[in-house]
A and B are shown apart, each in its own frame.
Chain A
């Protein structure tokens, strides 16, 4: 925040940094940000909930982000999501009860040339199928 000179218009930058450091945005963290940028908590909370990128819940140890952009969708990304949902018994956007895996979907990661793409723990992997995704997920679950 100091680097951004406590500028109020840098709120989104501050929240990005906070999420990077803490993994998710806790209520106390949002209050802290609001206090230091001299903004009403309602404004900070409003911004944090408006944007899809920010999460107010902790994520699992591993994250699996399936790209659901148009190119990935017509090439079968929906089947990948379905397979993972059935396997882990969670819905997209949720984390397994043992806190191991979070399943997320993305609007489009811009890797349409290699559709369907899945991001495992931040690594973009091209041309995924339900089988290859489940293989990866099962490795995580066992570890």
Chain B
């Protein structure tokens, strides 16, 4: 494969494109509402109407508005059909010939779509994730070619630093700095790992990216591998995402058959192979050192850092570990230039962020917005506010490691620093909206139970602390706790946060602390007057 071959594939694909394209969502959300049946019926209807030469029915990735699925879009008419069923789908085809359509439509120019800026999701819902030619037609693998032929690894790292991209896994570590550290680490063997262990409940951005545009992640990994000098990559995917795994396996096979992965990519001396590792349901494996243990086939327990993975990671070799969304940003950065990327977003947070909008909100689905967009725009304009005219009470970001942002702070811009100031985190991108009917103490207990179950048990503050905090929260909810228990809870939060070994323990108290900060009255309403003697109230919390 050389550049001319790549361009030939692209031109062939574009030339074979038919006049009308029906894009049918084939991501996991719509698939569960029988989008497969919809697609089959559409294909049959096209044949029945004799339109095979003019109409293409294309299975694509996520089209973002998941709550209204299955979705079918018609190009170039710019129509978007919602809640399509296998029964009413054929009427979309008859409508092409002037017939009447009996499927609901929605406005593709609504705020939900208009306010989005797609970089990571640019191909999502457009290309067919099961055909590499479709990705190449959208300028796929061009960035890899340019990087391999025209840039030295050092220049690649420099461009990444200049772009200002920060890790999208949650912590926001500058990606260029990370790449530079791995590149400088001595060692003949290096690894690149993609963290696709999206464990945060309520987050599904990475699943959608993998299902909708797997090649952009592979291309991003290959560019990263060239920059740091690695020749082997691992994709660590959750076992809960069977469709994403299947599409990745197919994507790797296709890329290998076109020599876009493997030995001597684009006839350069650069080799890169990718293997998939399937997780087995452990939240802690999203932590980088635990993830590497799991890739090695061991129990996923974290270890103290340093040494950082950049120096000694997988099998003791220097390892670069980035999240799915981070890698998916990479090809676009090299295609459009670092300056272009640095021009989007805020001073310290560049580019866009994908959020999974869910919970008590009208429009649920995926959104990608520039950094610095106020939460209010996302929740009220794009999300359409709470359903049934309810009032939004809080927005939860960052999953079990994040916090709840109350409605009075909705004007906060979305970037790493602003969310941190409110005691929450950017996190991987889960955004759960809660309305007046949601009890905050209940939410705090829900997340604490999660952390308690998912604690790997290696360090004591996290193993024992989460159990104790959960018991106190449970006691408060059962109206058996006193002010003394609440004080104990706050003390424990502080202790677990400061003494735990890894990110799971250090952030486990966040949901409790942020709800205590903004909704303390809800806790206090549940407290009982302290009528017992000193010490007696704690007996229940000590055992378990």
Interface string of A14-34 (1 = CB under 8 A from B): 011000000000000000000
Indicate the size class of the contact surface on chain A.
35 or more
A113 to B434, CA, bound (A): 14
Contact A69 B201 (CB under 8 A): yes
Distance of A59 from chain B, by nearest CB (Å) = 15
Contacts of B28 in A (CB 8 A): 110-111, 124
Distance of B189 from chain A, by nearest CB (Å) = 14
A110 to B197, CA, bound (A): 11
A113 to B362, CA, bound (A): 10
Given known pairs A110-B240, A113-B204, A115-B358, the reply for A126 and B32 (CB within 8 Å) is yes
Contact B201 A107 (CB under 8 A): yes
Given known pairs A74-B438, A114-B33, A126-B33, the reply for A52 and B282 (CB within 8 Å) is yes
Q: Which of A11, A68, A108 touches B240 (beta carbons < 8 Å)? A: A108
Contact B66 A113 (CB under 8 A): yes
Distance of A2 from chain B, by nearest CB (Å) = 16
Say yes or no: is B57 at the interface (Cβ < 8 Å to chain A). Answer: no
Q: Which of B299, B315, B356, B456 touches A112 (beta carbons < 8 Å)? A: B356
Distance of A28 from chain B, by nearest CB (Å) = 20
Closest to B282 in A: A51
Q: Which of B66, B281, B396 touches A107 (beta carbons < 8 Å)? A: B281
Distance of B269 from chain A, by nearest CB (Å) = 26
Distance of B274 from chain A, by nearest CB (Å) = 15
Contacts of A123 in B (CB 8 A): 32
Contact A70 B297 (CB under 8 A): no
Distance of A29 from chain B, by nearest CB (Å) = 16
Q: Which of A13, A54, A108 touches B202 (beta carbons < 8 Å)? A: A108
Q: Which of A50, A53, A68, A75 touches B201 (beta carbons < 8 Å)? A: A68
A74 to B438, CA, bound (A): 7
Name the interface residues of B383-420: CB closer than 8 Å to any CB of A: 396, 399
Contact A9 B295 (CB under 8 A): yes
Say yes or no: is B190 at the interface (Cβ < 8 Å to chain A). Answer: no
Distance of B530 from chain A, by nearest CB (Å) = 31
Q: Which of B300, B366, B432 touches A70 (beta carbons < 8 Å)? A: B432
Contact B438 A12 (CB under 8 A): no
Interface string of B443-473 (1 = CB under 8 A from A): 1001100100010100000000000000000
Contact B358 A112 (CB under 8 A): yes
Interface string of A49-91 (1 = CB under 8 A from B): 0111110000000000000111101110000000000000000
Say yes or no: is A125 at the interface (Cβ < 8 Å to chain B). Answer: yes
A114 to B297, CA, bound (A): 34
A68 to B33, CA, bound (A): 19
Contact B396 A114 (CB under 8 A): no
A117 to B33, CA, bound (A): 11
A8 to B297, CA, bound (A): 7
Name the interface residues of B466-500: CB closer than 8 Å to any CB of A: none
Distance of B437 from chain A, by nearest CB (Å) = 9
Distance of A68 from chain B, by nearest CB (Å) = 7
Closest to B315 in A: A9
Contact B280 A51 (CB under 8 A): yes
Q: Which of A70, A73, A115, A124 touches B430 (beta carbons < 8 Å)? A: A70
Closest to A13 in B: B278
A31 to B465, CA, bound (A): 35
Q: Which of B297, B365, B456 touches A12 (beta carbons < 8 Å)? A: B297
Contact A71 B202 (CB under 8 A): yes
Contact A11 B280 (CB under 8 A): no
Given known pairs A113-B364, A124-B28, the reply for A52 and B432 (CB within 8 Å) is no
Contacts of B31 in A (CB 8 A): 124
Contacts of B280 in A (CB 8 A): 12, 15-16, 51-54
Distance of A43 from chain B, by nearest CB (Å) = 8
Say yes or no: is B360 at the interface (Cβ < 8 Å to chain A). Answer: yes
Interface string of B294-331 (1 = CB under 8 A from A): 11111110000000000000010000000000000000
Contacts of A117 in B (CB 8 A): 32
A125 to B34, CA, bound (A): 9
Contacts of A11 in B (CB 8 A): 297-298
Contacts of B300 in A (CB 8 A): 50-51
Say yes or no: is A47 at the interface (Cβ < 8 Å to chain B). Answer: yes
A73 to B297, CA, bound (A): 32
A20 to B486, CA, bound (A): 46
Contact B239 A16 (CB under 8 A): yes
Given known pairs A12-B294, A68-B201, A107-B199, the reply for A124 and B32 (CB within 8 Å) is yes
A107 to B238, CA, bound (A): 11
Say yes or no: is A134 at the interface (Cβ < 8 Å to chain B). Answer: no
Say yes or no: is B129 at the interface (Cβ < 8 Å to chain A). Answer: no
Contacts of B434 in A (CB 8 A): 74
A47 to B31, CA, bound (A): 32
Contacts of A50 in B (CB 8 A): 282, 299-300, 456
Name the interface residues of A98-115: CB closer than 8 Å to any CB of B: 106-115
Interface string of B317-357 (1 = CB under 8 A from A): 00000000000000000000000000000000000000010
Closest to B67 in A: A113
Given known pairs A108-B202, A112-B202, the reply for A47 and B281 (CB within 8 Å) is no
Q: List 13 A-B contacts (CB under 8 A).
A: A11-B298, A12-B277, A51-B281, A51-B282, A54-B280, A70-B396, A74-B443, A107-B201, A108-B199, A108-B240, A113-B66, A113-B358, A114-B29
B residues contacting A by CB (< 8 A) are 28-29, 31-33, 66-67, 69, 198-204, 207, 239-241, 277-283, 294-300, 315, 356, 358-360, 364-366, 396, 399, 430, 432, 434, 438, 443, 446-447, 450, 454, 456
A residues contacting B by CB (< 8 A) are 8-13, 15-16, 43, 46-47, 50-54, 68-71, 73-75, 106-115, 117, 123-126
Beyond the given pairs A9-B297, A123-B32, 9 more chain A to chain B contacts, judged by CB atoms under 8 angstroms and listed by A's residue number, are: A13-B277, A50-B456, A54-B280, A73-B446, A107-B450, A108-B203, A112-B359, A113-B66, A115-B364
Instruction: List the 9 closest pairs (A to B, CB-CB), nearest first.
Output: A113-B66, A51-B280, A69-B201, A11-B297, A71-B358, A70-B202, A52-B281, A124-B32, A108-B201
